[in-house]
Chain A
Amino acid sequence: MTVATFIAKNALRNKRRAALTILSVAVSCALLVTLLTLQRELTIPPESEAASLRVIVRNKVSLAQPLPAKQLPILDKIPGIVAVTPFSFFGGNFREETVTSFAQFAVDPVRFQGIIVEGKIVDGAYEAFAKDRNSCLVGADTMKRYGLKVGNRMRFTGTFFPVNLDLKIAAVFQGTVDDRGVFFHHKLLDELMGDPGTVGTWYIRVASAEVANDVIGRVNKAFENTAAEVRAETERAFQMSFISMLGNVKLLIGSISSVVVFTLMLVTVSTMSMAIRERFRELAILKALGYRRGELFSFILAESFGLAAFGAIIGIGGAWAFWTFTDLQKLTRGFLIYFEVTPRIIATGGVVAVLLAIIAAIAPSYAVARMSVVQGLKTLD
């Protein structure tokens, strides 16, 4: 027999209790990892290098207020701007859906090509999209999700705009942070809306990250004290402003995570205390045989750690496997694109499990250390 065997036999002497403890640790770790991943996905939008060179310009009063199309020539002249396109959110419903999770935007196809430079055309031809006013450019994820092909038609029922769209898929793109979007001609929207001469936002690409702030400043200043003052911000800042509409997501998820960890701690401390309390007499015998306090603490800690580690491996590993191999877009109806259980989150889950194991071992170890051999031998089973 080795010390490890002795510890394992003690840990598994009550198999039901050990199994339930491992299961509770596993479920709690899986929940914790999921919450941390959700917090990360909601508060840190996906980023790409190309996105860092993009700026969104919207109406300073409200995103819902349009901007005059005649701002375009002024923007074209601002130094540092490489490309600019109108960028209007359509927000229609696809097929019979009441809520469509992928966005549709009206753009100038020629100018738009200079904005989303990281995207690659994987089917069809961009030229076909640029030439046909009734066509659209669709992201590969949406194509896959709905089983679409180039040449198929996509019909959208307008929600913000009182018009419907009937578009032919001309090309498919891939390689951006969000491969779900659908882009169509702004001129088609203008036609359907009776040419109001407005756009939702301007979508800009700047020459370099260094000039981004300068460009933002110039754009804001160019339309200061006009009928349509603007607010220019980086694409990331724009995305973050949507997240902030959800409220303090970080605090909410952080609170729930804390409750999960606290509950798990109560369970493990209670389990270990019970398990050790039942063995006071045996531990007194070990003391009589010559085992020191430090050695008994090591036994208790190893047992606690073993149970926690098993639970953590099952829980964290299970969560990682589930979220890695699950079709998340289908599960969340497109609300979430990515749900990556990062190594950092896995490590956080592991650290929590280790700390809990240590905390769970402290109280019973202290009781054992204080117990005299004679007292322990008198303990009833």
Chain B
Amino acid sequence: MAEENVVMIRNLSKIYQQGEINVTALNNICLDIRKGEFLALMGPSGSGKSTLLHIIAGIDRPTNGQCVVQGIDVTRLNESALADWRNQNVGFVFQTFNLIPVLTAYENVELPLLLTRLGRRERRQLVTTALELVGLADRAGHLPKQLSGGQEQRAAIARALVTDPSLVVADEPTGNLDSQSALEVLAILQALSRSAGKTVILVTHDPKAAAFGSRSIHLEKGELVNGETDLSLLPLQPAKKS
């Protein structure tokens, strides 16, 4: 391998049982994701893209197959070990932001760090850095209800980055944002991949969002289809400030 594969998926399937009916969300997926890649997972609603993302991120388990992330087969880890692994290796960005409403932006970003042995001073440093990276340093003391949608999502990205994970997963992160905020968020994710060397996996149904990635793959009815596009040769999309 010329470049290191951060994620290696082999014969992955996910089948849900709904009464007597079996629903196949993923069918025999094989996929490699390189380090530092910005991969866009595209597909219509119900195609299995979120399911695939969840399995890679360690918040869901496949029915069959293997998923190795940074050399660790996450499908074999127990609940406890998987939780620890997620805390150190994965940053989550969700469509609905999912900030804790009673905590300020600062406190939301600090949440993952409470599980570490870091002292208060060290935590402050990391949180401040993460907030500065997403341009929210002046909003640290604001509650989520005092932030705009775009700012909330940037706070969520800061929370995803604060433990310096190597893998960032984003499930339709621009779904609830206006176009301007969406562009800002996508630019941040792109910068994480290009400049910080993080592996970013973005689930989206929007081709414009997928264009920010270095590669996109398509799922339909739980299967990978042809049409994968390598976007790594395209220039960096400029970030627009608010």
A contact residues vs B (CB 8 Å cutoff): 1-3, 6, 9-10, 13, 281-282, 285-293, 295, 372-374, 377
Contact = CB atoms under 8 A, between A and B. Distances in A.
A292 B102 contact: no
A202 B92 CA distance: 87
Nearest to A373: B59
Nearest to A1: B107
Contact of B79 (A2, A10, A285, A293): A293
Given A281-B98, A285-B98, A290-B112, A374 B60 contact: yes
A285 B102 CA distance: 14
A137 to B, nearest CB: 68
B59 A374 contact: yes
Nearest to B123: A1
Interface of B: 54, 57, 59-60, 79-80, 83-88, 92, 94, 98, 100-103, 106-107, 110-112, 114-115, 159
Contact of A374 (B54, B80, B106, B112): B54
B94 A290 contact: no
9 tightest A-B contacts by CB?
A290-B87, A373-B59, A1-B107, A9-B102, A13-B102, A292-B83, A285-B98, A289-B112, A290-B86
B25 to A, nearest CB: 11
Given A282-B100, A374-B54, A1 B110 contact: yes
A291 B195 CA distance: 29
A2 B83 CA distance: 20
8 contacts: A3-B114, A6-B111, A9-B103, A285-B92, A287-B59, A289-B112, A293-B79, A295-B115
Given A6-B103, A285-B100, A372 B60 contact: yes
A3 to B, nearest CB: 6
A377 B114 CA distance: 21
B79 A292 contact: yes
Given A290-B85, A292-B79, A292-B80, 15 more contacts: A1-B114, A13-B102, A282-B100, A287-B59, A288-B86, A289-B87, A290-B84, A290-B87, A290-B88, A291-B83, A292-B83, A292-B84, A295-B115, A374-B54, A377-B94
B123 to A, nearest CB: 9
Contacts of B87: 289-290
B86 A289 contact: yes
Contacts of B100: 282, 285
Contacts of A293: 79
A28 to B, nearest CB: 27
A281 B100 CA distance: 10
Given A1-B103, A281-B98, A374-B60, A288 B92 contact: yes
B97 to A, nearest CB: 10
Contact of B83 (A6, A281, A285, A287): A287
Given A290-B112, A290-B115, A377 B102 contact: no
Nearest to B111: A289
Contacts of A373: 54, 59-60
Nearest to B169: A288
